[in-house]
Chain A
């Protein structure tokens, strides 16, 4: 992009460079420290967390994570739920985004505001009522039960709508003149152009679903249905911060890896996607 080329030509002034590097250090230090703690034995860290900075180091905490028979099951549960939620969100919000961005129908504007309203609803405000509803529908301790609440994302619809609005109408209009149905336009023309937005939304949806704690806590109450976040929390003993610190941090690293991998894979798409959203 031209703007990019312009930016690349200008050197970053030294104070700015130092500022960025200091910022990066502030970001990285806690993460590096977490990893260091995760490779120390619990006993060595009791009362003295700076022991993490010196050898000996060990992988026993990670072995303990895998030694717990249910960890892999929890990991699979999280993968299924997060992937299912992501796919569901992409489908639903793409459809809705096209509807709001491209089509005119009675009540479009009020409906869009109705959807935006969802941004203002905190999870804790509806969680108990949702719980009752799902109990009545016998959806607890099941994958659909864990996936459905994640599909109600106002941000997703807002995001896709804004992105699709930015796509030039000329493309649609040409196709319409050719007699194409809206479904064809949607699938053949618009969707392929939204790949960057899909990637971005995918990463953020996956992330939100992966780290979700409260809903899986009260909906998937049988340990074989736990997601990874709930399972790891349950596995902690009392005072884990003191006597199980290494293990606690190993859990943290282990639980974060999948998402970080997902982010790395989609990184380039994400930047391209952002370019389409915050337009004009």
Chain B
């Protein structure tokens, strides 16, 4: 009996839940939680890392716009299970971080607001953004987010080991292959002279990495990955060429084959290989290694876009954006969103210190950005970067399928023709069913 009363009390108490939101700007993001380090600090210039910089930026916005009444929600990356659930329960946030590849899914269901009105109210012309960034948030001709950054694949290079392998040019820059044959020959040369693998590949549990390789190198051969938004074509001579090249690299031991992402990061930081192909998001961490005496990467780090092994100068990119889920809003709330856009666009350069590329063209061309280490080498990504065609839905899920098959092909667990045709079949069957 006593217990029943306790339960009743607990339930009654529990019914006093936060319930409906009061007015105010509800911002939801990933990138981690670091209030113990940054608390309510607003000094963006002193902040380090994705978490530090975004926390201080939002704190600074709060300080500058108290009338917006900001509440912040941090979610585990990438946060889409939660966001979908929130939208299904009709309690979405006001602003949320979203990958550009995912925007068509939510926009296509009418769950996002087009942002041109907010940009206009903020005095931002769509033309201020880089082509890659702008394409990333555009769907069926309308923009559905404030482009925040562009990120794509990069080769992170251990200069010291490259020097030892004789692959550093007179200008101090690493020599990169310009064709598949050169990749193999330079890889062999590297291994002979240093005894370590040329490529540190994270093929375990990293489908995004494997998909990135396939997409990029098919694009550079001029092969459209998607013949139309509902059909993928990977099992083509171009696709097989890429798979064969990397399968050979792996089979000869020029590239590692057993590592997942944490293992690969650790290996690169410990000087266990020449190149770690990953993306812009690791620049910040590796820069820290570069500056730390006694570490293998000390003063021995360079970063370059994926080498152009085939004809065209293109690469596959993605990006982050701030999107606005659809719900009824008061004029004050709309104004707050516009203020947020204006504030963040003006500070896009600060975000670039994470390693991601800015979305604002003027920032990329500007001195503040280019004076950051290594940025000159990679600024071109904003120009040559391409996302998948607009109309392609469920890009995340597709990347998972494609990456799984590609990794199987590269490691030799599946014959290449079967892996690519399986990928085609699974993706096309899936896209057929998509509503």
Residues on A lying within 8 angstroms of B by beta carbon are 46-48, 63-70, 80, 83-84, 87-88, 90-91, 131-132, 134-135, 140-145, 147, 187, 217-219, 221-225, 230, 233-244
B125 at the interface (CB under 8 A from A): no
Tell me if A's interface is mostly helix, strand, loop or mixed. Answer: helix
A-contact 0/1 string along B1-35, CB 8 Å cutoff: 10110110011011101110000000000111111
Which B residues lie within 8 Å of A241 (CB)?
261-262
Contact B3 A135 (CB under 8 A): no
Q: Tell me whether B10 and A87 are in contact (CB under 8 A).
A: yes
In-complex Cβ contact of B262 among A66, A222, A239 (8 A) = A239
| CB-based closest 10 A-B pairs | A143-B14, A67-B36, A237-B32, A142-B17, A235-B33, A218-B85, A135-B89, A47-B269, A47-B266, A64-B36
Could you tell me if B33 and A68 are in contact, using CB atoms closer than 8 angstroms? Answer: yes
Given known pairs A131-B85, A135-B88, the reply for A236 and B10 (CB within 8 Å) is no
Residues of chain A within 8 A (CB-CB) of B88 are 131-132, 135
B265-A141 in contact (CB<8A): no
Known: A143-B13, A144-B14. A90 touches B3 (CB 8 A): yes
Residue among A147, A221, A224 making CB contact with B86, cutoff 8 Å: A221
Using A47-B270, A237-B49, A237-B50 as known contacts, list a sample of 16 further A-B pairs with CB atoms less than 8 Å apart, ordered by residue number in A: A48-B270, A67-B37, A67-B39, A131-B89, A140-B89, A141-B91, A144-B14, A144-B15, A147-B14, A217-B76, A221-B73, A223-B73, A233-B76, A234-B75, A238-B77, A239-B282
The complex places the Cα of A222 from the Cα of B86 at a distance, in Å, of: 9
- Cβ–Cβ contact A135 & B261, under 8 A: no
For residue A246, give the distance in angstroms from its CB to the closest CB of chain B: 13
Q: List 14 A-B contacts (CB under 8 A).
A: A47-B267, A48-B270, A88-B7, A143-B13, A187-B1, A217-B76, A218-B84, A221-B73, A222-B18, A235-B74, A237-B33, A238-B281, A239-B262, A239-B282
Interchain CA distance A217-B79 in the complex, whole Å: 9
CB distance from A276 to the nearest CB of B (A): 20
Chain B contacts to A: CB under 8 angstroms? 1, 3-4, 6-7, 10-11, 13-15, 17-19, 30-37, 39, 49-51, 72-77, 81-82, 84-86, 88-91, 261-262, 265-267, 269-270, 281-282, 285
B14–A221 touching, CB < 8 Å: no
Question: B200 to chain A: closest CB distance in Å?
Answer: 12
A34: min CB distance to chain B, Å: 16
Specify which chain A residues have a CB less than 8 angstroms from the CB of B86 in the assembled complex: 221
Contact A144 B32 (CB under 8 A): no
Closest to A144 in B: B14
A225-B82 contact given A233-B76, A239-B265, A242-B266, CB 8 Å threshold: no
From B32, B34, B84, B265, A242 is in contact (CB under 8 Å) with B265
A210→B31 CA distance, assembly (Å): 25
User: Bound complex: CA of A67 vs CA of B41, how far in Å?
Assistant: 14
